[in-house]
A and B are shown apart, each in its own frame.
Chain A
Amino acid sequence: MIISEQKSKEELLLALDGCERLFLVGCAACATACKSGGEEEVFRMQEWLTSLGREVTGSLIIEEACHIMRAGRDLRQHRLAVEEADLLLVLACGAGIQSVSSSTDKRVIGGLNSLFLGNIRRFGQYEEKCSLCGDCILNETAGICPVTNCAKGLLNGPCGGMEEGRCEADRDKECAWNEIYQRLKKQGRPGVFARTVPPKNWGKVLKPGRHRIKP
């Protein structure tokens, strides 16, 4: 899931300066789960904007805002309310915001910051486990990703900052390489420690990423 949080009210006010009428867009997928852009947050945003004297011409929760065609179709169904607005305020991740911005010529303001691809520990608590690096090494590292979980993304063991198995960049966190080492030891296999991992091929994730399923 894409983890996101709302921008500060101060930043939003600056972005909305001079605009009187807004159309609000939320997302029923990740932004709903993160409580940053679901039905409830869109409603609260509407209340806040109204209290500031702005007019909300309408609102829409797209089932998955990252779905480009669906976002366009849903917006067309709200054409009149969208036409009345000076701009669209989108409470979705960066991908969702761009589905919307590519479906309208109106100005689009994103109301969220997208943080990372996250696992859910429990409700409201998210953890980054995968960086989408395009060249997965998990099969050798006991299912723990060093590219993501090591603060430096090192591939050949811990840095010199590891202390008592803790991470240099965050002493509250266990060193990812210590976790990998302990789990491999439990499994009784050398895993990634059996070889020196060569430099990573970052060419596999040239930006912007594109993927098409082969027939």
Chain B
Amino acid sequence: MSLLQQQLAAGRFVVTAEIAPPKGIDTAAPLATARALRDVTAVNVTDNQGANMRMAPLAMAVLLLREGIEPILQLTCRDRNRLALQSDLLGAAALGIENLLLLSGDHPRFGDHPGARPVFDLDSVQLLQGVEELMAGRDLSGRPLCGVPRFFPGAAATPEAEPFELMFQKYSKKVAAGARFFQTQAVFDIPRFEIFMEEARPLKAPVLLGVLLLKNARMARFLNANIPGVRVPEPLIARLEVAADPRDEGVAIARELVACARRRCQGVHLMTLGCEERIPEILG
């Protein structure tokens, strides 16, 4: 059983963070980042994030395992059909990876290969079902597996999305399809997250609140304009604008979000984007 699964089962407040594989084969920088994430339970490895081509997350996740760092392998439906997804999953299990974050994936239109053909042979709900099947010893065609993998599958949630009811029906489908934990998109609106948790709590899947460290007002505006599903409210942007040190203010905002998570959900997923040294303050 993975450490992530054990800690969530034990009711511990869980902290995860993330790294991106390199564009190339020099893994020194992401490994250094991962080593700096000493206080976290597990580290997500992103899968061609934002549809920008990078090294395979499966390879990067194995490198983390070798360092004694527990990975959460992200897998999107954008670049692989059902054969490739299942074979990557079996490969991951054989190499000792248990934690998964199963995603639809950002559209290639805004990535660095905009001419790529998007796959989306499965969607994230169907991929979760596929993982359940593999764990039951069958593939998606119902054929038996020789050696059955064990996973701890997770999925993404977007608590601030509107219409709420439409977003939540997908969340419910993911729970029913076997999502054992959720990591949310970066959230900034605490009251909205609290409403989401009221609905999500009865479904009993642990939720890790996505906390993104804002560095300044310009970054907040960039996120609002360019990152799907992320919305920084104007009052927070105003705080960053008037702050003597915007980075300190960003840390203060992140601390408020972590405090909310401690009251409302089971952990946080930190996106510190190069400022990993501030994690102790954010969690403190």
Contact = CB atoms under 8 A, between A and B. Distances in A.
Interface of A: 151-165, 168-169, 177-178, 181, 193, 196-200, 202
Interface stretch (B54-62, B169-177, B196-204, B236-244): B169-177
Given A161-B107, A168-B228, A156 B125 contact: yes
A15 to B, nearest CB: 21
B106 A161 contact: yes
Interface residues of B, number: 39
A196 B161 CA distance: 21
A154 B107 contact: no
B231 interface: yes
Given A156-B170, A168-B106, 8 more contacts: A152-B120, A154-B120, A156-B123, A158-B170, A160-B228, A168-B228, A168-B229, A199-B130
B33 interface: no
Contacts of B130: 199
A165 B173 contact: no
A177 B166 contact: yes
A163 B166 CA distance: 12
Contact of A158 (B110, B166, B185): B166
Contacts of A158: 161, 166-167, 170
Nearest to B108: A169
Nearest to A151: B107
Contacts of B163: 165, 178, 181
Contacts of B124: 156, 159
A153 B107 contact: no
A12 B171 CA distance: 50
A198 B125 CA distance: 9
Most chain B beta carbons < 10 A, residue from A153, A165, A196 = A196
B251 interface: no
A101 B185 CA distance: 52
B5 interface: no
Contact of B173 (A153, A161, A169, A196): A196
Given A168-B107, A169-B107, A196-B177, A157 B166 contact: yes
Contacts of B126: 155-156, 196-199
A33 to B, nearest CB: 28
A162 B77 CA distance: 17
A157 B125 CA distance: 9
B31 interface: no
Contacts of B106: 161, 168
Given A158-B170, A163-B228, A199-B82, A152 B158 contact: no
